[in-house]
Amino acid sequence: MSRALVPLVSLFFALLAAVSPWFVIKRAFGGKGVLLAPFGLVNPGGTRVPEFDLAWVPLAFWVWVALAALASLAYLFLKGRARVQALYVLGGLGLLFFALEAFLFYRQVAEINAAALEAGARRPPLKRYSLSLGLYLQFFYALFLLVLARMHTPGGAGLLVRYRGVVVPAVSLLLAMVAGGVLVWLLRPIPGLREPLSTYGYLVAKLDLVTYTFQLLFGPVLTLPGLFQSALIATPLIFTGLSVAFGFKAGLFNIGAPGQLIMGAVFAMFAGLYLPGPKLLVLPAAIAAAALGGAFWGAIPGWLKARFGAHEVINTIMMNYVALSVMLLLLSKNEWSFFGHVVHFPFKAPGYEPKSLEISEAARIPLFLNLLGFKGAGPGELSLALPLALLLLLLGYYLFFRKLELGPRVLASLAAAVAGYLVGGLLPGIPAQVGADLASVRLNGAFLIALFSVAFYNFYMWRTKHGFELRAVGLAPKAAEYAGVKITQKLVLTMAIAGALAGLAATHYVLGGGIDEYRFKQSIPYNVGFDGIAVALMGQNTPIGVTLAAGLFGVLLTGGLQLNLQLGISRELVLVLEALIVLFIAAGGFLPRYFTDPLLAAEFLKRLAPEREKEVA
C-alpha cells in the first residue's frame, strides 16, 4: 500500500467533513432542512427554529482534524508495534468521540423539545432531526483506522483479500452510491431554497440533499412496518436472485427470470382457479405448479443450448418476450379470433383492468401476520407455533441430528419442526398490539418459501453430488465432462431448476396476494427478474449473500417510494444504483485483480504467508 494513502484519505476526510452538514436540526416535508455544519448554520428554506446552542461543533471539527493529523503522522513516522497501537488508539478514540457527539446532539434536541412543550407548545418544535453526512464520515473514518491497524498486525495484510467476497460488493455499492449522489446533485435543486446561499452554504445544502436521498432510501430499516415492507419486496428478489445465481454456478447466464416468473404465475393461476380439494392438498400443488411453470420455461433455452448450441443469453431474453405475449393472450381479453373463429377464454376478470379471476380460497398463502397468530390490526396474540417450529428446525439440523446422513438429518429436523409447531400452537400466545400500518403490509408465507429455497440452494449446491457436478461444469466444463458428467443433461436440468426458482416468485404475487389481490394481474412486476441479476452478483452467488443482497434491495426499493414523495426523485434511481452495482462488480470494483481472480488471490496470500510463519515461530 502506498505510504501517501493514509494522509490523503485523512485530508479528504477533513475537507469533506468541513463542508458536510453534521446534524439536521429539523426537517420539513419536501426535504427542507435546517442544517448544522462546522462553520455555521445553513437554513436554505428560512425555517424558524428555536435558539440552539451548538457552539461545540466547530470545536469538535478541530478535534477531528487533530485526530486525522495524528493518524497520518503515526502512519508515516512510527514503525511496527507502536504504529499499530497508535492507530488502534486513535480509531477507538474516534468511535468514542463519535458516540459522544451523537449523544450530545440528541440530548440537546430532547431538552429543547421538552422545554417548548412545557412552555405550552402543542407539538415539539424540532421534528425529524437526525445525524448527517459529517457524522457518518467520522464513523467510517474511525473504522478505517481500525481496519488499517488490523492490517498492520502480523498476518493481517491479506485481510481484505481474504474477505474479498464482501469487499468487492461493498466497494461497488459505495461507488454506485457516489455515482447516484452525483446524479442527484446535478438533477435536483436544493429543496425549499428561498434566498441565494453563500458558496459554503450551497455546498452544505447540496451535500445534505444527497445525504437525505440515501437516508430516505435506507430509512425503512428503522421501523417495523418498513422492515416488513422491505421483506415483502425482498421476497421475489430472493427467488429471482437464487435463480440467476443457480445459473451462474453452472456457467450459465439466466436473463430469463422475468419470463420464468410469468410462466410460474400462469401455472399457479391455473392451479388456483381449477384445482378442487382441501387446502392441505391444493396449496402445495399450486406452489408446485408455479415451480413447474418456471422450470418448463427455463428448460427450453437449456435444451436449445444443449441440443443446438444456441446461446442461452439471447434465448432467455426472447423467452421473456414470448412469456409476455402469453400473459397478454390470457389476461387482456377473453375473446380472440383465430382465422375467423372466435374463441372464448375463461380467465380474465370482468372490468377494465387486465387481471385474472380470483383464485380459490384453498390455494391462497396466508399473510405472515396470520401465520404468527394475529387476526389483523388491533390487539392480538403472538402464537409460538411458527417461531418454535423454526427454532427446532435449526436446532435439529445443527445440533441434535448432526451425526446422521444428509437425508435422514433433514427429515428428522423437519419432524422436529412439525412437533415444535404443534407444541407451540398449544402454548398460550404472547399478547401484542398490531398497528394499522403493520397490518396493511401484505408480507405473506411466500417469504418462508423463499427462505426454504435459500436452504435448498445451499444443500443442493454444496451437499449433493448433483450440485458438485454442476459447479464442476461451471468451473471447467471440459474437465467435468472428462470426469463423467453428462454436460447436456446438466444444462437442461440446471436451467429447469433455475427456472423453477424464478417461477416460485409467482407464489408471492399470485397465491400470496403480494400485489393486493389473489389474482394474476398484468401489472405483475416481472422486472424483478432483472433485479435478480444484481442480487446474485451482489451476493456473490452464496445463499447468505443472496439473502442479504435481496434484503438490501428490498430496503432500497421500499425507501424509493419515500424518495418520490419527499424529493420528487424518480424511484428509478434505485434501478440505476442496481445497474451501476452490476457494472462495478463486473469490473471487480476497480480493485487490483487479486481481489477478483481466485488464483491470483491465492498467490497473493501465499506471498504473505512467510510473514505469518515467522509470527508462529
Give the whole-angstrom CA distance, residue 455 versus residue 236: 16
The answer to whether residues 37 and 134 touch, using CB atoms and an 8 Å cutoff, is yes
Please list every residue from 484 through 543 that binds another protein, using CB under 8 A. 527, 530, 533-534, 537
* Phi, psi at 434, each rounded to 5°: -110, 120
Q: Tell me the sheet residues that pair with 491.
A: none
Q: How far is the CB of 255 from another protein (least distance, A)?
A: 7
The answer to whether residues 233 and 558 touch, using CB atoms and an 8 Å cutoff, is yes
Q: How far is the CB of 586 from another protein (least distance, A)?
A: 4
Q: How far is the CB of 534 from another protein (least distance, A)?
A: 7
- Which position among 128, 307, 606, 614 is part of the footprint of another protein (CB under 8 A)? 307
Q: Which is nearer to another protein, 131 or 262 (CB)?
A: 262
Q: How far is the CB of 306 from another protein (least distance, A)?
A: 11
CB atoms near residue 283 (< 10 Å): 23
* 103 is a site residue for another protein (CB under 8 A): no
Q: Which is nearer to another protein, 137 or 171 (CB)?
A: 171
Q: Pairing mode, if any, of strands 23-27 and 335-338?
A: unpaired
Part in contact with another protein (CB under 8 A); list of ranges 38-46, 416-424, 478-486, 575-583: 575-583
- Which position among 529, 573, 595, 601 is part of the footprint of another protein (CB under 8 A)? 573
* 478 is a site residue for another protein (CB under 8 A): no
The answer to whether residues 169 and 542 touch, using CB atoms and an 8 Å cutoff, is no
Give the whole-angstrom CA distance, residue 208 versus residue 210: 5
Give the whole-angstrom CA distance, residue 462 versus residue 471: 9
* 224 is a site residue for another protein (CB under 8 A): no
* 311 is a site residue for another protein (CB under 8 A): yes
Q: How far is the CB of 240 from another protein (least distance, A)?
A: 13
Q: How far is the CB of 187 from another protein (least distance, A)?
A: 5
Please list every residue from 576 through 615 that binds another protein, using CB under 8 A. 576, 578-580, 582-583, 585-588, 590, 593
Which residues, 6 or more positions from 15, have their beta carbon under 8 angstroms from its beta carbon?
none
x/- binding map, residues 187-206, to another protein, per CB under 8 A?
A: xx------------------
Q: Which is nearer to another protein, 314 or 430 (CB)?
A: 314
x/- binding map, residues 317-356, to another protein, per CB under 8 A?
A: xxx-xx--xx-xx--xx--xxxxx----------------
CA dihedral for 592, 596, 597, 603, sign (positive or negative): positive
CA angle 122/123/128 to nearest 5° reads 175
Please list every residue from 242 through 271 that binds another protein, using CB under 8 A. 253, 255
Count of chain residues binding another protein (CB under 8 A) = 54
- Which position among 315, 413, 542, 558 is part of the footprint of another protein (CB under 8 A)? 315
Part in contact with another protein (CB under 8 A); list of ranges 401-409, 487-495, 572-580, 609-617: 572-580
Write the DSSP string, 499-526: HHHHHHHHIIIIIS-TTSSSS-BTT--T
* Phi, psi at 27, each rounded to 5°: -130, 130
Q: Which is nearer to another protein, 267 or 530 (CB)?
A: 530
* Phi, psi at 65, each rounded to 5°: -60, -45
Q: How far is the CB of 179 from another protein (least distance, A)?
A: 10
Which contacts of 453-456 are long-range, i.e. CB under 8 A and separated by 24 or more positions? Answer: 453/238, 453/239, 453/242, 453/501, 453/504, 454/238, 454/242, 454/543, 454/546, 454/547, 455/543
CB atoms near residue 517 (< 10 Å): 17
Inter-CA distances, 606 with 152, 291, 594, Å:
17, 45, 12
Q: How far is the CB of 596 from another protein (least distance, A)?
A: 9
Q: Which is nearer to another protein, 159 or 561 (CB)?
A: 561
State which amino acid sits at residue 197. L
Q: Which is nearer to another protein, 137 or 233 (CB)?
A: 233
Q: How far is the CB of 532 from another protein (least distance, A)?
A: 11
Q: What's the CA dihedral at 375, 379, 385, 386 to 10 degrees?
A: 70
Q: How far is the CB of 393 from another protein (least distance, A)?
A: 35
First to last CA, the chain: 26
Part in contact with another protein (CB under 8 A); list of ranges 18-26, 146-154, 549-557, 564-572: 564-572
Binding positions for another protein, rule: CB under 8 A: 183, 187-188, 253, 255, 304, 307-311, 313-315, 317-319, 321-322, 325-326, 328-329, 332-333, 336-340, 527, 530, 533-534, 537, 568-570, 572-576, 578-580, 582-583, 585-588, 590, 593
